[in-house]
Amino acid sequence: MQIGPHKIANKLILAPMAGVTDRPFRQMCRDLGAGMAVSEMVGSTSLIRGSAKTLRRANHEGETAPRSVQIVGYDPAMMAEAARINEAMGAEIIDINMGCPAKKVCKMMSGSSLLRDEPLVAAILAATVNAVKIPVTLKIRTGWSPEMRNGPTIARIAEQSGIQALSVHGRTRNCFFKGEAEYETIALIKQSVNIPVIANGDIDSPQKAKFVLEKTGADAIMIGRAAQGKPWIFREINHYLDHGTLAPEPTLQEIETILAQHLENLYDFYDDYIGVHMARKHVSWYSKGQPNGGKFRDHFNHLETTTQQRQAIKDFFAELHSEANYG
């Protein structure tokens, strides 16, 4: 798949997730097989104001190219300015968020709420595309509600506005994350435009990845929640798509190594205080399904230093190794 001058290495893209896809997580997923990773959404207003938290979200120093930064907002001029700022900071692709269903985002007439206002969609897309020299992509849902699945119309507007790739989550805004994603509308969108289309929603296994690619005819797939605590899912899907067989599960030793490195990257990227708190959510995901995982998470979430967290990980995996060898 080609996005502007960038040839994406494979069909797998890490979805932008607020509070999750920071630089350490993006790079971890790239190292484990994602062809591209999109940043967590960056608010156009707070970026222009120079918010330290927002600028950190847009930080991609040392990250594997192509570097894609997602911006969110409702004002065409401010979205254009946010795109210019990110381009100046080294972004190689600008992604526009019109898919977030969160109430606090939609109340600001941003995210998926924009799908109700097609003229405003066109204005935002045109302003952003014309503001930068790098490619601009768009992420949407299939529509505002099951009664208003206007994804194909939005897709045509996007193509006419100069958007160079489109990601589609297989739910409407009013569906949030309830029920199952549907892929028929994504297939219709793919048939409606000539730009690359990326399918998203409920892709949580190699078999599901292959099914969605075939069902939708999409050029690539985007994986979000299924990568939380399991960044090697990209490696597993790539293997299945290439060979038609399931790759071996990672060993306990490999999971420990990946997790330990992830924590070190978090500590380096944030200061120790923030890094310790950010580590808690990721460790919760990594430990899900492991023996005594619940007890371990409760213990880990009360630790206050990087030294305590490092030791807790060593102790936890030593216990898992011991149980595995005993069994």
Q: Tell me which CATH code domain 2-243 carries.
A: 3.20.20.70
pLDDT (tens digit, 9 = 90+) per residue, 16-31? 999 999 999 999 999 9
Q: Tell me which CATH code domain 252-326 carries.
A: 1.10.1200
Residue intervals in the chain for CATH 1.10.1200: 252-326
Residue 301 one-letter amino acid: N
Predicted pLDDT at 261: 97
- In degrees, to the nearest 5, what angle opens at C-alpha 232 toward C-alphas 136 and 251? 170
Residue intervals in the chain for CATH 3.20.20.70: 2-243
166-169 vs 67-72, strand pairing mode = unpaired
Judged against a pLDDT cut of 90, whether residue 283 lies above it is answered with yes
Note if the bond before 135 is cis, omega within 30 degrees.
no
Q: Is 175 one of the annotated active-site residues of the chain? A: no
- In degrees, to the nearest 5, what angle opens at C-alpha 83 toward C-alphas 81 and 86? 110
53 vs 300, residue with greater confidence? 300
Judged against a pLDDT cut of 80, whether residue 294 lies above it is answered with yes
Task: Please name the residues in contact with 158: beta carbons below 8 A apart, sequence gap of 6 or more.
Answer: 121, 125, 138, 140, 166, 193, 195
Task: Please name the residues in contact with 141: beta carbons below 8 A apart, sequence gap of 6 or more.
Answer: 98, 99, 101, 112, 115, 151, 168, 169, 171, 172, 173, 175
The one catalytic residue among 29, 100, 106, 175:
100
pTM: 0.94
